[in-house]
Every structure is written in C-alpha cells, then in structure tokens.
C-alpha cells in the first residue's frame, strides 16, 4: 500500500452517510478516498455466522471483531472498549466494518416532525435546530429514493412527493392489534428502508424475521449497499485503515489524515476537503486525539461543545399474553408503531415518545426462560408453543434532551494500537422519568384493551438504549455553542465537514438514520456550492 495517497475529498468512515456522500461527490467528478477502520464483510459471510452463532439475541455476535478496530461487545462478556464513567452505563453498540452499523439495523427510516426542530421555541426545553423542516424536506425525499423507503402517508411528517414504495404488507399480529386498540390508538405500519416490491435490483421482503442482525436477501437497505454504490461511482475504499490523527495548517485548514494499518504502520492521506462520517462516539474521539498546540482542547472545539450532549432513545417495555394466538415472528421484526405521543404541549413537562410493536419471534427467548425454570420434555414443548403464540411485546422510543454533561471524552485505557478508548459520561433526568411514567399508563391501557394476562412492565428507572447514538457534534447558528454550522461544516476548520447523527441538535422520537442521511445530502450540496 502506498503512503502517498491524495484525493479531492477524504472521507473517514464508510457507513451509510459517508458512503452516500462519497457517491454523490464522485458522481460530480471529484476524486474520493474513503478510509474505513474495519474490514470488508459480505452478506453471505454474516448470514452464515448468524446461523452458526449461539448468541442469537446479540446482534453484534455475527460480525467480526478486529483487534485494530475494536467495537463494543457485551456477549459473553463486556470487552471494555467503551469505558463507562457513569452515573449510568451507556452500553452503545456499533460496527466498525465497511458499510457501518446499518448492516444490523431494523431499517426504520422516519422523518422528524416539523415541531421536533423547534422544541425550545415551542416548549421551552432542549434547543432549536438552525434549519427548518422545509429546508430538510427535499433531502429527505432524495434519501428515500436512494435507500428505497416504503411507508404510509399518515405518519405525521409532511411530504411533497409520495414514497417510492407502498408499506410492507402487515403481519397477522399487526392487523389484530390494530383492530383491538382502534380508534383510541392508531397503530400504523412503520416507515422503513425495506422493499415492499422489487426495487433497485433487490427483492421484496419475504419475512425472514431476522432483519437484525442481517437481512439474508438484501430486501433491506444497508450501509454495505451504500458502500458498493460509492465504489461503483468511482470512490476508493481503503479498509483496515484506522485514522488516528488529523493535521492542520496555520490557518486551521485540515491538510492530512494519518492512519494505521493492522500492523501499526502509519500512512498519510492528503486532500482538499475532509469529511468525518463515523458515529457520534468515534468522531469526537478522533478530534480529541488530534489536539495540537494551536488547538489544545481538540480540533473543532473552540466552543467547548465537542463530545457533549450525547443522546439516544431510552426505552422501557411491556410483555403480556393475548387471549388469542397471534404468533409474533412472521414478517419484519419491527413492523408498526403508535405515533400519537410524538408531539404536544406535554413536551414542556415530559419526554415525547413513540410506541413500537415488536414482531420478533418469541420462541428463542421463551425457550431460554422455560429451561431456566426447569421445564423439560413434552411440558417444555407445549409451553414453548403456548407462550410463543400468545406473547406480545411493546416498547417506547423516548426523546432525551441534550445535556452537556452527557459526553464523550478520552479514557486513559488504550486499545491494541495504543489509541485511547472512548470514555462515556451518561445519565437520565426527571424529564425522561416522567415520560416513562406516562408510557406505563398507556402500556397498561393497551394491555387491558387486548384482554391481556400476565402483564409485565420493565422495572422503574431501568432503561435500555436503542443504539441511536446522537449529538456530540451539534450544529447551530452560533459558533460559541455549536461544533458545526447549519451545513455540517466545522466553525474552526473551513474544509472540515461532518456527516453523522452527531450533528443533530436533538434526537426527537424516531430512529435517526434517515435524518442523518438527509442532512448529509444537504452537506453535499453545500460542498459543491463552495459553502
């Protein structure tokens, strides 16, 4: 491998945002290099690994762990890549491979609501975005075309053009729950980057029910598909290239990215424009690592906001048994949701949230539980069948406000290449707790409407995150309080851009991928215009 690489544009990270940005810039005639810390993988490889894995509920398990590019793993034990500073752990999961974490996502591709971008003005909480929904709308549509998004029109987000595809056919479970809880609660089919018909050379969903950790037929869009499209457009991907430092000149322009190969040989890549496209943990880590005499607190950090306002979507859940057999497990794992609590005056008092109906097969979890309780033989088989047919699970997806004390810093501990690990500071506030309390009331109401028995709500004040790693690079109109401008460009370095969920000032109540891609495509427009 040469140590004299150069391109018009150097992208760090080959996930869905970085790859689609690279594709668009390569299509416009720019030479583009993508540096990816992890290895290449294939759908066939991961599908085989998933089938062989004893840890079917661990979506990280089928993916390779690379000593030179470690990624968080908690099964069978914590690999301690993410150093937890508390007061509560933030057990984030993400992939460091070509294509990034959307290899194992649920493909939910929601738009924000217009009010989500104005919660400070409307409700006195959080912060406002420096752009409006109308600014983002055409880029949402462009992202939906690229990714192949299907969904219903009644999901609350205005749109200028119809979806590329109709919604995925609802499962029997989804249809029956919708009938039982209407009209009080409106259960709609989710908006997803999943083919409901043949689209873009890929087949329609056939209901394998393991969208996470891998769609075995590519009916679901992934960062792997995005990376392939970037290469077809002329971008060059360099896997196993761990960027550990950015260099700048006396004016603050970024002039080079330095990376290690797996044997810790160092290489230097020069370019005119640099784009950081990793996640909201790995980007701050790199910028802190790149501190210099001119920028002692890290690059892109004159505001002191770098790494701060780390956010996700905390979740609680409910499990209950319906009186009829519904057999979760036929169709996509996350097919439908209730949207009515995503916005309202209550946001001044507690978190907004969405409720998701799970369609994941109950068989594996039920079997594990019954064996742990001593069930054997025919009694075990009968009870597996009964519970798997009747059990229903729901969870909330709850908005977390930006808190500067929730942040990413560098740890003293180092990885195999000698690079400091990320250190995470994380907590939940009363705004979240009150939102969880409001959710619990709705859980119990829905369970009652379903005629449920054996209702189990998750313990109070014990939440799970959804791997929607957001914030830490917040964009804004004021360089004193923001890392990037409204186009994702660093206030401190004129040729440094960010395409990541990290630039989102708030997290709202929906999965962040589609919004991140739309923002990334808007950044492409700014780069091409010389903004």
Whether pTM exceeds 0.85: yes
Please give the average per-residue pLDDT across 59-84, as a whole number.
Answer: 95
Do 359 and 171 meet the contact criterion of CB atoms below 8 Å apart? yes
Q: What residue has token string 């969904």? A: 151
Q: For residues 526 and 189, give the distance between their C-alpha atoms in angstroms, rounded to a whole number.
A: 34
The secondary structure of 212-245 as a DSSP string is TT--TTS-B--HHHHHHHHHHTT-EEE-S-EEEE
Residue 1 above 50 pLDDT? no
Selecting among 248, 313, 390, 468, the annotated active-site residue is 468
Rg over alpha carbons for the chain, rounded to the nearest Å, is 23
Q: For residues 232 and 3, give the distance between their C-alpha atoms in angstroms, rounded to a whole number.
A: 24
At 5 the pLDDT is 94
At 56 the pLDDT is 85
Model confidence pLDDT, tens digit, residues 4-57: 899 999 999 999 999 999 999 999 999 999 999 999 999 999 999 999 998 888
Do 432 and 313 meet the contact criterion of CB atoms below 8 Å apart? no
Model confidence pLDDT, tens digit, residues 82-123: 999 999 999 999 999 999 999 999 999 999 999 999 999 999
Please give the average per-residue pLDDT across 506-513, as a whole number.
Answer: 97
At 300 the pLDDT is 98
Model confidence pLDDT, tens digit, residues 170-211: 999 999 999 999 999 999 999 999 999 999 999 999 999 999
Residue 238 above 80 pLDDT? yes
At 3 the pLDDT is 58
Q: For residues 110 and 72, give the distance between their C-alpha atoms in angstroms, rounded to a whole number.
A: 26
The set of residues, in sequence order, having a beta carbon less than 8 Å from that of 478 and lying 6+ positions away, is none
- Which tokens is 150 given? 């299907």
To the query of whether residue 468 is one of the catalytic residues in this protein, the response is yes
Binning pLDDT at 50, 70 and 90, where does residue 299 land? very high
- The closest alpha carbon to 449, from 457, 441, 437, belongs to 441
Model confidence pLDDT, tens digit, residues 436-494: 999 999 999 999 999 999 999 999 999 999 999 999 999 999 999 999 999 999 999 99
Residue 166 above 90 pLDDT? yes
Binning pLDDT at 50, 70 and 90, where does residue 530 land? confident
Phi, psi of 281 (to 5 degrees): -105, -45
Query: What average pLDDT is seen over the chain?
Result: 96
Q: For residues 94 and 71, give the distance between their C-alpha atoms in angstroms, rounded to a whole number.
A: 6
């Amino acid at each position: 491998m040469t140590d004299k690489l150069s391109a018009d544009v150097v992208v760090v990270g080959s996930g869905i945002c970085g790859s689609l940005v690279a594709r668009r810039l390569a299509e416009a005639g720019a030479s583009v290099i993508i540096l990816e810390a992890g290895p290449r993988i294939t759908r066939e490889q991961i599908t085989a690994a998933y089938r062989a894995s004893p840890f079917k509920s661990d979506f990280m398990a089928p993916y390779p762990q690379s000593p030179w590019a470690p990624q968080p793993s908690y099964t069978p034990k914590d690999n301690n890549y993410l150093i937890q500073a508390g007061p509560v752990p933030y057990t984030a999961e993400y992939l460091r491979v070509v294509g990034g974490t959307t290899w194992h996502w649920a493909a939910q591709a929601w738009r924000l609501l217009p009010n989500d971008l104005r919660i400070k003005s409307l409700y006195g909480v959080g912060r406002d975005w420096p752009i409006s929904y109308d600014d983002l709308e055409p880029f949402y549509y462009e992202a939906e075309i690229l990714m192949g998004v299907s969904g219903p029109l009644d999901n609350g987000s205005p749109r200028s053009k119809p979806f590329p595809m109709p919604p995925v056919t609802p499962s029997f479970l989804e249809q029956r729950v919708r009938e039982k809880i209407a009209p009080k609660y409106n259960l709609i089919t989710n908006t997803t980057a999943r083919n409901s018909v043949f689209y873009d050379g890929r087949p329609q969903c056939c209901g394998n029910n393991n969208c996470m950790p891998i769609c075995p037929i590519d009916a679901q869009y992934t960062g792997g598909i995005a990376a392939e499209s970037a290469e077809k457009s002329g971008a060059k991907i360099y896997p196993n290239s761990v960027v550990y430092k950015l260099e700048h000149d006396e004016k603050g322009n970024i002039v080079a990215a330095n990376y290690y190969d797996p044997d810790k040989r160092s290489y230097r890549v020069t370019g005119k424009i640099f784009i950081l496209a990793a996640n909201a943990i790995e980007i701050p880590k790199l910028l802190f690592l790149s501190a210099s005499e001119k920028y002692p607190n890290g690059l892109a950090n004159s505001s002191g906001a770098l790494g701060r306002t780390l956010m996700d979507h905390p979740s609680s859940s409910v499990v209950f048994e319906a009186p009829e057999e519904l057999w979760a497990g036929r169709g996509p794992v996350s097919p439908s949701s209730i949207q009515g609590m995503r916005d309202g005056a209550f946001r001044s008092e507690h978190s907004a949230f969405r409720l998701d109906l799970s369609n994941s097969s109950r068989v594996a979890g039920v079997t594990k539980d019954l064996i742990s309780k001593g069930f054997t033989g025919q009694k075990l088989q009968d009870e597996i069948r009964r519970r798997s047919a009747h059990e229903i699970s729901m969870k909330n997806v709850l908005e977390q406000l930006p808190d500067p004390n929730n942040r990413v810093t560098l740890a003293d501990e180092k990885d195999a290449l000698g690079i400091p690990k990320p250190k995470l500071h994380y907590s939940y506030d009363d705004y979240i707790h009150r939102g969880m309390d409001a959710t619990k009331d709705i859980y119990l109401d829905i369970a009652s409407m379903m005629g449920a028995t054996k209702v189990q709500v998750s313990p109070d004040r014990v939440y799970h995150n959804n791997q929607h790693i957001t914030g830490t690079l917040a964009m804004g109109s004021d360089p004193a309080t923001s890392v990037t401008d409204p186009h994702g460009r660093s206030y401190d370095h004129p040729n440094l851009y960010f395409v990541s969920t990290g630039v989102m000032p708030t997290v709202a109540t929906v999965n962040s991928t589609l919004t991140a891609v739309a923002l990334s495509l808007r950044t492409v427009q700014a780069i091409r215009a010389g903004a």
